[in-house]
Structure 1
């Protein structure tokens, strides 16, 4: 397994298995199954989130072009904020730069005439996740995205939930160890935020998710 997983990664499972090589392999297989179960549930959430945001923007955006492409769109217009630099003092950063790049990349792959739905489907959870941050409160949340949730929903609450789920999604998608990850807590977060987006979806996930049964089968 050392060559297969790399010595460092294998050591994580071997340590968790108290040096039992057979159990270490069983833990690795269990971790893979758990990641698959997590990603299955998160895939439903991701699609619901992007569709809810798209509907909210479709309803409220009044620019001349589509909100994916219009230079004045809150997803495209330069949004300058001061951010800490790893190598020095704070610097000015356009926090819409990556979103523009993601949209333009999808347009390049599918052409300028591709329907909006095709482009929207190409944008990763990483794009949608950051649209609820405090930096976007005045440009996106207040005029547009709050409509994706029930009246009175707080942006900070939504952002905290989505951020935690995005972090778990990245760990699962890269097949990182979930041995100590708060998967059960994140499942509750998932049901909370999907309940805000779509109570029907939250009920469906709760009744069909394999995350709980998989957690119970840990070697």
Structure 2
């Protein structure tokens, strides 16, 4: 929601000092030098991030679960502990998997399940499984299991490219960076497409629930 007022100069200066002139300055070009408008664009950017957070979360969770279906089919339900899978990982991701398992076992003890470990792994871990390193062992053998609705001409590279774009958007939102001038509608379309390849019904639900279009229309003009 946009503030229905402009700040007094002293208040605006105090806010600018608190969030940093560099951060507010990122919006100054779009605001044509108007500091009050720049602040309102900053608030609007936060609203855009908020509007995209739900679609991003659904896409990330759906993607990692889709990849898990392939891993479980190939290596079994205990794939996080399967030696044949573990030897495919670079050292840094093998260590991440071990740390995730140790952390979750400390929290859940004998109630620890693969789902606990799955949720503890980074987006980068899942993105790695979409690389050509797994072309022979995982893809495209189990491609249709993970992405049953993908068009016939879609390749592993296409999925990786869309997933990496999702990662970049996710990280920008998490680190409070501007997204207002980086194609938020295009990013949303990328999210929906990725979800559609996994589940039409989930994509429909996200479209019905998301409110990006309303937020786009709330862009402050002056």
Q: Shorter-chain TM-score: which interval? A: 0.7 to 0.9
Equivalent positions of 1:36-75 (< 5 A) are: 36-61=50-75, 66-73=78-85
Flag the 1:78–1:193 CA change in 2: closer, same or farther, 3 A.
closer
CA deviation digits over 1:105-143, x for unaligned, max 9? 211212275211111111122221222122332233234
2:92 is matched with 98
Kindly name which structure, 1 or 2, has the bigger radius of gyration based on alpha carbons.
2
Q: Give the aligned partner of residue 118 of structure 1.
A: 116
Does residue 184 (structure 1) correspond to residue 194 (structure 2)? The answer is no
46, 61, 66: which one pairs with 1:32? 46
Structure 1 length-normalised TM: 0.82
CA RMSD of aligned residues (A): 2.0
Residue 214 of structure 1 and its aligned partner are, at CA, apart by 1.1
Residue deviations 1:133-191 (CA, integer Å, cap 9, x gap): 22332233234455201274421111111111111111111110113211111111111
Show the counterpart of 2:31: 17
Aligned residue for 2:29, secondary structure, equals: helix
Q: Tell me the distance in 2 between the aligned counterparts of 1:129 and 1:30.
A: 30
Paired with 2:79 and 2:204, the residues of 1 have a C-alpha distance of: 32
- TM-score normalised according to structure 2 size: 0.81
2:88, 2:131 → 1: CA distance?
Answer: 16
Distance in structure 2 (CA, Å) of the matches to 1:129 and 1:122: 14
CA distance in 2, matches of 1:203, 1:218: 26
- RCO higher in structure (CA 8 A, sep ≥6): 2
Aligned to 2:125: 127
**2-structure distance, mates of 1:31, 1:44:** 20
Q: Which residue does 1:91 correspond to in 2?
A: none
